[in-house]
Amino acid sequence: MQRTAVPITTHRDAIMGDIPNLFKHASEEDRWHGTGVADGFAGKQKSNNPPYRIPAADTGTEIFFDNLEVLSRFANMPLPEQEAFCETIRKALKEAGVDTLRLIVQWSETETKVLNITFQVNHYLDIYLDK
């Protein structure tokens, strides 16, 4: 059996380090965020309930999700669709004078699900999968 040498590739135009080393480059007022970044990548639960959140495409405030699959499907939408969806929800809730929308969505070819979407006073949206 013949052995073949495998070339080793090095990346000379790259740096390597950990989160604390990275945040040494942050501004003085932002250095404390390094701990939160490290905790986020470590998978430590935050005190947020529900645990998943992303910025809303229409206002920049946050949208909270209690279900990773719902978050994934929403985040997979292009930003213009996300923006139109959020704006339409806010408008519909305001016109109806309520703060919760129960939205029926086609989940698969054979299944529908209900999303409970709540508008919070601080302009956040909560999107929960109905159990």
Structure confidence by residue, pLDDT tens digits, 3-13:
655 555 565 67
Q: What pLDDT was estimated at residue 29?
A: 79
Q: Report d(CA 24, CA 39) in Å as an integer.
A: 17
Long-range Cβ pairs for the range 73-78 (8 Å, 24+): 74/127
pTM recorded for the entire structure: 0.68
Put the strands of the sheet holding 62-65 in their side by side order: 52-55, 62-65, 125-129, 112-119, 100-106
48 pLDDT more than 80: no
DSSP assignments along 99-114, one per residue: SEEEEEEE-SSS-EEE
* Residue 106 pLDDT level (bands cut at 50, 70, 90): very high
